């Protein structure tokens, strides 16, 4: 349980560590100059911290469900295994789709979906590894 709790805290801290992009308040003389992106701008654009926070909440809820309903332990584990499989396969297929020439708008949507399914696979894989670590020892 301690390892899973540490993983949840790590995911929540990672989500909280990135600051949202702020508007450039300095007046510039050249209007064509692009505004500077703040640190973590791409992470915020793809909602990575929010996805990690949602994963940490799901991990905490599934741990609570396993403790409260011991008979449903297998169901919770199977749910996480399916989430890992589906998110990994989706990420892989979307990654392959990015190698095909696509319209710019469609390519952006596919790339966003690829990132989101990759974050879901990362969270599910980390949770899966932590849960199975005690079996390996």
Q: Provide the Cα torsion 88, 92, 93, 97; round to 10°.
A: 150
Which residue in 53, 25, 54, 27 sits closest to 38, CA to CA? 25
Mean local confidence (pLDDT), 78-83: 90
What is the predicted pLDDT for the residue at 29? 47
What is the predicted pLDDT for the residue at 4? 60
Alpha-carbon gap, residue 68 to 66, rounded angstroms: 6
What is the predicted pLDDT for the residue at 82? 93
Q: Is 55 helix (H, G, I), strand (E, B) or coil?
A: helix
Lowest-pLDDT range of 46-50, 82-86, 100-104:
46-50
Which residues are CB-neighbours of 119 under 8 A, at least 6 positions away?
46, 48, 51, 52, 55
What is the predicted pLDDT for the residue at 11? 58
Q: Do residues 39 and 19 touch, judged by C-beta distance below 8 A?
A: yes
What is the predicted pLDDT for the residue at 128? 86
Please state the pTM of the whole predicted model.
0.65
Q: For the segment 18-37, what is each residue's pLDDT rounded down to a tens digit? A: 444 455 545 444 455 545 55
């Amino acid at each position: 349980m301690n390892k899973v709790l540490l993983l949840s805290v790590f995911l929540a801290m990672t989500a909280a560590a990135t600051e949202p992009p702020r508007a450039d308040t300095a007046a510039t003389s050249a209007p064509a100059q692009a505004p500077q992106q703040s640190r973590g701008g791409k992470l915020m654009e793809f909602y990575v911290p929010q996805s990690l926070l949602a994963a940490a909440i799901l991990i905490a809820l599934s741990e609570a469900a396993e403790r409260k309903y011991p008979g449903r332990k297998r169901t919770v584990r199977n749910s996480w295994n399916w989430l890992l499989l589906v998110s990994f396969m989706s990420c892989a297929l979307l990654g392959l789709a990015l190698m095909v020439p696509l319209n710019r708008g469609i390519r952006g949507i596919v790339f966003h979906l690829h990132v989101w399914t990759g974050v879901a696979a990362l969270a599910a894989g980390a949770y899966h590894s932590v849960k199975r670590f005690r079996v390996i020892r």
